[in-house]
């Protein structure tokens, strides 16, 4: 990783006619500030912005390939509409007209649930995705809402909802100040971090060790992150919740708990002690395939550290006990007094959060307020499991999904059983995709609405500022003017909303005006708001900004905790540092008791399932995923600069397993599991523990009707075809993507 930008193959040295512009990178959660060199309207180079208050010049190969991604010739530049079964180019007017004429009658005849919505990962990386989907969902009033969250962090939302009363109150490890980091199921040296926004995560881990701190990594693979660690534990996949429960048990047994200032804010400590009593290190050791004494040591190190943070990510979430593991991560931070204290895990306060209000009991967090129609899966945070999307389209009856709006998502590759979903999508009455690519999912759409390349969009991180290791705020306007014929993604979202909401043809600014009026009316009535009692019309008139989205951002900043405005952000193009994370308990708590409810009932009810896993000693192979620094889920395989090398869709196999099965490096194997069968080349490596194989996700670009010429030339296979969607973490509806059984057969 680099402090200054490497010259990627797409870049060229600056010349006299060049100019530069700043752009926050939208490609991962690290949110690095980039300096783009622009020739005419083309981005010829991307470097790390050394003056960025947060990223201080850091960049990775993905950010460095910004220009190549931006100029990808396969990117769609006009809307597409389906006519006689084929997609053809169309005007924006025609595209939105078609949406309006097809969606409204379906809703009128079959009710709001006839329209499903799928929200994909890039929505948290665009302004449009932050501002408009909530309004779209409240306009549609459908219960058929699905997102990448149930392939990802929903377990954390559920555990936060239950513990703190707010699903979005997610504590973030204080990387810059912690003395000890216990990291489970995360590989930030490839992913650049997740639910922990930290440009230069690798540098921060190295700094932790330089200042005498320690790093323990729990991962069945010896990842690049694990190589940095003082201690690497190659756990058996899917058993983190058992390990974490044993750590809790040791803290209680050896009287190592010390809640410090938290004590007065925590309920049900004794209850947690009681329910974890039988998860001794000796009881979990065999299932985790760990040494009981090592488990005790990890617990003692955690308790002894001057400050410590336990942090779990994908490998602890997308597993059978994902919610329990997410809960136990926080329980450990609480029991050691590290939650909400510097050096531990704290709640960020972002510039667009509501201004803090005095601590008070809240409404709490309800789970399972309704269930999915076919599978009876409980909702979580208003969403249904994306693994259940296909059955909701296929199964006849009242409430069947007949039309689908897919916004920045590629579930045919990202979610379990893409073949089934592929067939289901082709049975829809109507489908809309907002997507720059014609890919495995959008190829089924009747209308494709392409957003402009990232250089032509403004950027603000609504999601990630609230997950950042330091409070800070940055805004970058579009670096290049919108190309004629393209439409800003905010306007696409606004027009889509008007089209499906029966207001087709209204000005898109009407959507923003409606939101601004509604929010200001609420704010002036709220005694804790900085604008309490003021005139909403006057406040609206004071807002600045050259678009509805900018005016909304300005409003959120003004209503936020730091007395900021859009104008102040524009005056500080490299961002404004708002200081290190600060303790926020009890103010952040929204539980009914106003305290941290340490043993919520749904968690207690799921513990017997964990207890039964104590006897689990799977004999066969299990599969886990992996990420590569130069990849990003399912959609960066079309950028030539990022392909090749070690970024390939191979199956990692331990030498012992390879020998037992007669596999040689480069051999082709068939991998079979519940959901199907795929073939992949074998890569033998002792970086993976015996009994575990690893295949990355986001590959399988071999379906007809897409326009991904580079990706299609090296398609790889879709790991999610191995899943049939039935393996879920029951509390969160999150798909089990890691630690499921597979069988290998040598093909050649
Ligand atoms: N087996 C396995 N499966 C996994 C995972 C795993 O670890 N293992 N990880 C899961 C995780 S964590 C996630 S988040 C999901 C992600 O899965 P998805 O949410 O489906 O996201 P992507 O695969 O990133 O696809 C994003 C889509 O958005 C489009 N897009 C890109 N930029 C923009 C933009 O600016 N605007 C719009 N409108 N569209 C854009 C892309 O072309 C692509 O079609 O995958 C999950 N799937
Ligand atoms: N380069 C790149 N960066 C990305 C992405 C990408 O696709 N590519 N995707 C982005 C997205 S959407 C997300 S959500 C984040 C995810 O960011 P991370 O959570 O850091 O995800 P991974 O790099 O997949 O690391 C997960 C690790 O969990 C391990 N693991 C698997 N099963 C288990 C288990 O049962 N227990 C334990 N302890 N470990 C296990 C895997 O071996 C793997 O090393 O990354 C983001 N950043
Ligand atoms: S680390 Fe993430 S945000 Fe930073 S340059 Fe790389 S892809 Fe972009
Ligand atoms: Mo994700």
- pLDDT (average), residues 636-647: 92
Q: How far is the CA of 348 from the centre of ligand 3 (A)?
A: 20
| Average pLDDT value for residue range 496-521 | 97
Q: Is the pLDDT of residue 411 over 60?
A: yes
Q: How far is the CA of 601 from the centre of ligand 3 (A)?
A: 39
Residue 301 has pLDDT above 60, yes or no: yes
- Closest residue by Cα to atom 8, ligand 3, is 63
Predicted pLDDT of residue 14: 52
For residue 548, the CA-to-ligand 1 centroid distance in Å is 27
pLDDT digits (tens, 9 = 90+) for 364-408: 999 999 999 999 999 999 999 999 999 999 999 999 999 999 999
Structural contact between residues 99 and 447, judged by C-beta atoms closer than 8 angstroms: yes
The reported pLDDT for the residue numbered 17 is 72
Mean pLDDT along residues 100-104:
97
| Ligand 2 pocket, residues with Cβ under 6 angstroms | 28-29, 121, 152, 184-188, 190-192, 194, 218-221, 223, 235, 237-238, 240, 313-316, 319, 624-629, 631-633, 738-739
Nearest CA residue ID for atom 35, ligand 2: 237
- pLDDT for the residue numbered 9: 39
pLDDT at 736 over 70: yes
Report the C-alpha gap between 342 and 344 in whole angstroms: 5
| pLDDT value for 247 | 98
Nearest bound ligand to the CA of residue 629: 2
What residue's CA is closest to ligand 1, atom 39? Answer: 408
Pocket of ligand 1 (CB under 6 A): 120-122, 126, 148, 151-152, 314, 407-411, 414, 434-437, 439, 451, 489, 625, 633-635, 697-698, 719-720, 737
In angstroms, the CA 194 to CA 198 distance is 9
Q: What is the average pLDDT across 336-360?
A: 95
Tens digits of residue pLDDT in 577-635: 999 999 999 999 999 999 999 999 999 999 999 999 998 777 899 999 999 999 999 99
Q: Nearest CA to 697 among 629, 634, 622?
A: 634
- Residue 184 near residue 216 (C-beta atoms within 8 A): no
With a 6 A CB cut-off, is 64 part of the ligand 3 pocket? Answer: no
pLDDT band at 13 (very low <50, low <70, confident <90, very high): low
Domains of the chain (ranges; CATH) run 1-71 (3.30.200.210), 154-355 (3.40.228.10), 517-565 (no CATH), 618-746 (2.40.40.20)
Compute CA distances 409 → 96, 195, 684, whole Å.
20, 19, 32
β partners of residue 115: 403
Query: Mutation test of ligand 1: which of 386, 435, 497 has the most ligand atoms closer than 8 Å to its C-beta?
Result: 435
C-alpha 217 – ligand 1 centre gap (Å): 26
For atom 13 of ligand 1, the residue with the nearest CA is 148
Q: Which two tokens stand for residue 34?
A: 């980039």
3-state secondary structure of 521: helix
Best probe residue, ligand 1, of 24, 80, 122 (max atoms within 8 Å of C-beta): 122
- Alpha-carbon gap, residue 320 to 20, rounded angstroms: 48
Pocket test for ligand 3, best of 5, 43, 60 (most atoms within 8 A of CB): 60
25 lines ligand 3 (CB under 6 A): yes
Question: Is the pLDDT assigned to residue 11 strictly greater than 60?
Answer: no
User: How close is the Cα of 262 to the center of ligand 2, in Å?
Assistant: 31
Question: Mean of the per-residue pLDDT values for the chain?
Answer: 96
Write the residue with the smallest CA distance to atom 37 of ligand 1: 408
Name the closest-CA residue to atom 6, ligand 3.
60
8 pocket-lining for ligand 3 (C-beta < 6 Å): no
Structure tokens at 516: 């601004």
Ligand 2 center–CA 120 separation, angstroms: 17
Minimum-distance ligand 3 atom for the alpha carbon of 28? 2
Which pLDDT score, from 0 to 100, does residue 618 have?
A: 72
Tokens of 602: 């749904």
Tell how far the Cα of 152 is from the centroid of ligand 4, in angstroms: 5
- Locate the ligand 2 atom nearest the alpha carbon of residue 188 and give its number: 20
Question: pLDDT band at residue 149, thresholds of 50, 70 and 90?
Answer: very high
- Span from the CA of 28 to the centroid of ligand 4 (angstroms): 9
Tell me which residue has its CA closest to atom 13 in ligand 2. Answer: 194
pLDDT range class, residue 356, cuts 50, 70, 90: confident
Q: Mean pLDDT, to the nearest integer, of 430-441? A: 98
On the question of pLDDT at 15 being above 70, the answer is no
62 C-beta closer than 6 A to ligand 3: yes
Mutating to test ligand 1, I would choose from 76, 117, 121, 386 the residue with most ligand atoms within 8 A of its C-beta, which is 121
DSSP 693: E
pLDDT in the model for residue 363: 95
Instruction: Return the residue whose CA atom lies nearest to atom 42 of ligand 2.
Output: 221
Tell me the DSSP string of 645-668: TT-S--EEE-HHHHHHHT--TT-E
**pLDDT attached to residue 343:** 98
Residue 157 near residue 166 (C-beta atoms within 8 A): no
Residue 513: strand, helix, or coil: helix
Alpha helices in 60-116 (DSSP H): 61-64, 66-70, 92-110
Rounded to the nearest angstrom, the distance between the alpha carbon of 186 and the centre of ligand 2 is 5
Give the ligand 1 atom nearest the CA of 125: 35
Q: How far does residue 742's CA lie from ligand 2's centre (Å)?
A: 20
Q: Give percent of the chain above pLDDT 90.
A: 96
For residue 552, the model assigns a pLDDT of 98
Q: Which ligand is nearest to the CA of 147?
A: 1
Residues 6+ apart with CB under 8 A from 327: 159, 162, 163, 600, 603
If DSSP codes are grouped into helix, strand and coil, which group holds residue 438?
coil
Cβ partners under 8 Å of residue 192, min gap 6: 28, 29, 30, 60, 199, 201, 629
Position 16 scores a pLDDT of 62
Ligand 2 atom closest to the Cα of residue 698 is 7
Per-residue confidence band for 1, with pLDDT thresholds at 50, 70 and 90: very low
Distance 613 CA to ligand 1 centre (A): 31
pLDDT in tens, 244-294: 999 999 999 999 999 999 999 999 999 999 999 999 999 999 999 999 999
Q: Which of 63, 125, 150, 315 to mutate to test the pocket of ligand 2 (most atoms within 8 A of CB)?
A: 315
pLDDT digits (tens, 9 = 90+) for 447-505: 999 999 999 999 999 999 999 999 999 999 999 999 999 999 999 999 999 999 999 99
At 30-42, the pLDDT tens digits run 999 999 999 999 9
628 C-alpha to center of ligand 1: Å?
A: 14
Beta strands in 120-176 (DSSP E): 145-147, 172-173
**What's the 448 CA to ligand 2 centre distance in angstroms?**
30
Q: What is the DSSP string of 246-274?
A: HHHHHHHHTT----GGGGGGEE-HHHHHH
């Amino acid at each position: 990783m680099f402090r200054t930008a490497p010259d990627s193959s797409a870049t060229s040295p600056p010349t006299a006619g060049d100019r530069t512009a700043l752009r926050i990178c939208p490609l991962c959660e690290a949110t690095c500030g980039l300096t783009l060199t622009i020739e005419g309207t083309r981005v010829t180079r991307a470097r790390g912005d050394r003056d960025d208050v947060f990223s201080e010049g850091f960049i990775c190969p993905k950010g460095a390939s910004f220009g190549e991604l931006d100029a990808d010739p396969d990117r769609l530049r006009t809307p597409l509409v389906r006519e006689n079964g084929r997609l053809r180019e169309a005007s924006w007017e025609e595209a939105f007209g078609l949406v309006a004429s097809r969606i409204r009658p379906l809703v009128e005849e079959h009710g709001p649930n006839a329209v499903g919505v799928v929200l994909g990962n890039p929505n948290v990386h665009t302004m449009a995705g932050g501002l408009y989907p909530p309004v779209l969902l409240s306009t549609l009033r459908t219960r058929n809402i699905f997102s990448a969250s149930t392939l990802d962090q929903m377990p954390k939302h559920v555990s936060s909802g239950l513990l703190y009363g707010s699903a979005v109150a997610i504590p973030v490890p204080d990387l810059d100040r912690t003395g000890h980091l216990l990291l489970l199921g995360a590989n930030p040296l490839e992913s650049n971090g997740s639910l922990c926004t930290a440009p230069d995560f690798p540098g921060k881990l190295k700094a932790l060790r330089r200042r005498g701190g320690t790093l323990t990594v729990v991962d069945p693979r010896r990842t690049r992150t694990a190589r940095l660690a003082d201690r690497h534990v190659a756990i058996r996949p899917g058993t983190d919740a058992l390990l974490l429960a044993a750590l809790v048990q040791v803290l209680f047994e050896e009287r190592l708990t010390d809640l410090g200032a938290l004590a007065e804010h925590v309920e049900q400590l004794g209850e947690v002690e009681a329910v974890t009593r039988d998860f001794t290190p000796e009881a979990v050791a065999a299932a985790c395939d760990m040494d009981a004494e090592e488990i005790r040591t990890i617990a003692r190190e955690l308790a002894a550290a001057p400050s410590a943070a336990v942090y779990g990510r994908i490998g602890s979430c997308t597993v059978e006990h994902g919610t329990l593991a997410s809960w136990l991560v926080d329980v450990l931070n609480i029991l050691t007094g590290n939650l909400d204290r510097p050096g531990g895990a704290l709640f960020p306060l972002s510039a667009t959060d509501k201004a803090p209000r005095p601590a008070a009991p809240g409404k709490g967090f309800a789970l399972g307020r309704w269930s999915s129609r076919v599978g009876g899966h409980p909702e979580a945070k208003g969403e249904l499991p994306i693994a259940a999307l296909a059955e909701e389209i296929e199964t006849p009856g009242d409430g069947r999904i007949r039309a689908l709006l897919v916004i920045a998502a590629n579930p045919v590759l990202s979610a379990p059983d893409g073949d089934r979903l592929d067939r289901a999508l082709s049975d829809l009455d109507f489908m809309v995709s907002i997507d720059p690519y014609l890919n495995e999912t959008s190829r089924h759409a009747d209308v494709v609405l392409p957003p402009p390349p990232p250089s032509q969009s403004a950027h603000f991180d609504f999601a990630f500022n609230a997950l950042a290791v330091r409070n800070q705020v940055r805004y970058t306007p579009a670096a290049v003017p919108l190309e004629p014929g393209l439409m800003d993604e905010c306007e696409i979202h606004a027009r889509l909303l008007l089209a499906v909401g029966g207001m087709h043809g209204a000005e898109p600014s009407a959507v923003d005006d409606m939101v601004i009026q509604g929010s200001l009316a609420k704010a002036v009535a709220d005694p804790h708001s900085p604008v309490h009692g003021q005139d909403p019309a006057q406040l609206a008139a004071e807002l600045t900004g050259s678009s509805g989205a900018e005016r909304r951002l300005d409003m959120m900043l003004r209503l936020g905790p730091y007395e900021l405005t859009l104008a102040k952000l524009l005056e500080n193009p490299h961002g404004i540092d708002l200081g290190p994370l600060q303790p926020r308990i009890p103010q952040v708590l929204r539980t009914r008791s106003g305290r941290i409810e340490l043993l919520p009932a749904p968690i207690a009810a799921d513990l017997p399932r964990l207890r039964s896993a104590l006897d689990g000693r799977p004999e066969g192979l299990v599969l886990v995923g992996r990420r590569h620094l130069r990849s990003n889920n399912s959609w960066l395989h079309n950028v030539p600069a990022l392909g090749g090398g070690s970024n390939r869709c191979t199956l990692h196999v331990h030498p012992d397993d390879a020998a037992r099965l007669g596999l040689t490096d480069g051999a082709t194997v068939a991998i079979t599991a519940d959901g199907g069968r795929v073939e992949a080349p074998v890569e033998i490596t002792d970086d993976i523990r015996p009994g575990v194989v690893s295949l990355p996700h986001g590959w399988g670009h071999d379906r007809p009707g897409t326009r991904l010429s580079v990706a299609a030339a090296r398609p790889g296979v879709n790991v999610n075809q191995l899943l049939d969607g039935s393996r879920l973490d029951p509390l969160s509806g999150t798909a089990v993507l890691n630690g499921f059984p597979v069988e290998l057969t040598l093909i050649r």
